[in-house]
Structure 1
């Protein structure tokens, strides 16, 4: 690790924050909260940031927290972390594993787990904000630490924006964020241009005419109709998207009928679409609609299908100049541990914030997998099988060096805009 100033000076105190960070992380992991229910996490974050001298605004967009530290003239950098957990029953076996449960938005009682690593994100940003507050002599400008709710639903960032976020943060020059991923812990990866896909979930209801199973001639069978839709949808990516573009169309759920000898009168399909640019996104969604309508007509469906778009996430596309600045700072500090982040097919809503503020942004990945286990799996060609991924019940980032690396990455990236303080003029 290179001790480049001012990052090296700020991060020299990393060992002093590490003990409370690790305790905070264990507690946060053990007590996860679903989207829009992050009251405990938000309260703990706000209290610690106030103790560090930040101006704190709570309940932004529901449970969001915005903390600002003004430190003289200079750029304003926004660092963001997401706070929510998932309805997953934890199977990590950790001594601080979650046994919590909660009632979700539909009224269903579900287990809750930090299966996506948002507890890492919160802990790292809290540590970075603390270190920068301790070393104000090393940088100048304004730091905004933003803790966002409900990333998993894709509406947390938007709700903060709609709750006058721009007024609360003022003029911001750049927004930065990171995500822990199944890569070797201790590594960081940046990427210019598309990083995360846009995601669109689509609920389609197709209609038939019910009848007895022994008299199919009296029916319009919605199961057969749904099956034809599924088959035809497989041609969207292979025949309507250019080979140089990337897209995914998945039919994840089909529900129809109640009994083996009853032909029902409707079928519901749930689809998920992933794309990296708006033109491809439009092409795919239009093709899905066209195919469904045509198959309904071919089956003599008695009514038009219904379409419902939900859980929509924007694409994350890193600004070239911003990312180059982050990449150079990472290379100088992390050395060989800084690399290129592969294109990710996951999605998230961070970009809604910089888009609303009209500012450039960069989003990078940090590793969370045990390095030795990852290397062994890589050598055996079994990374996909042996390394738990985000949203898995077994996803458990190793605490260190993950927390140290994520904290350092945020500090290093922020100081690419904020530091250093100018020395006073010699009399």
Structure 2
């Protein structure tokens, strides 16, 4: 069986207000083309379809078109689970239409996945239960048994997992509960089926980026790699945007497919990909990454002067990229130039002037202090206080306020400079 593992689409997500929809539509085209070229039997999407629990109409259209194209008229299996950014009900809402195409949509860890009638030319479900399903795919002689565990927070599990508020105890309790849950689902695995587990969790030791909003408080929602069942042949995960692999009990591969495009500058330079897995009952998984080309690159420029920035722009350097720029400035007049540059070149996402007081600092100290974007800080603060990610409309409103404040600061600086020149004259 040939399985394509993908995750963290984040349809509707922007980059500091810059539209990423063309890149996301291009990803759908590229993903569908890969599935056809590689004769994929089954697609596993491991959560975070959307950026917010209340996505835009265009983001929903992306999701439905992706479902339609991946399912290939019901000839290819598709399993999609909700991530922490998704509303569970919204993900599973179209299941009455999806069922006819053999598409599995799971919103909550305890969702019941029902079997469907046998068909010769379409995907069908010989068996189903709470959090688990068996798929028969017409293109493959083997059947797959899949444990599907959407983002398993306490609220979505409907359980209180720890009586203590101590981080270590909360993490142990959470990891222990998920271990028991995974083990219970793994009882449905059989020696004559391809046995898979798909979930949206943070595994302790995974490498994060700024784009992953912190859902675990002090690591309380971190899962130990030993929690996964040794009887799973492959564990397909979502949540971390950097493609990476860990090893579970018995050597089972625990893999994050990563996001299809770079969503923060902490992902600059990463090669985005999807993962193609080949499996037969009782065999070890063989997998390889298939690189993606759909997303515009995110790059960092560290210029020595504004003149150098203008030279790079005239040369067409990184013409197709979103750019994070840092440049030293010496006078208030240069700050005006920065504002003009910001307005004239929208692909310059961040323009951070380094003032004289900062230029004597070690670059790592300046970078640490200034590397986290206002959007990331706001999203983290909002989710910590409210419990769910903010929708894009709220983020856009916040970013507009930030820009207004920056513009006011620029005006005040210019007025101060003019006043100083007048006094000196």
Q: TM over 0.5, yes or no?
A: no
TM-score, normalization by structure 1: 0.27
Q: Which has the higher contact order (CA 8 A, sep 6+)?
A: 1
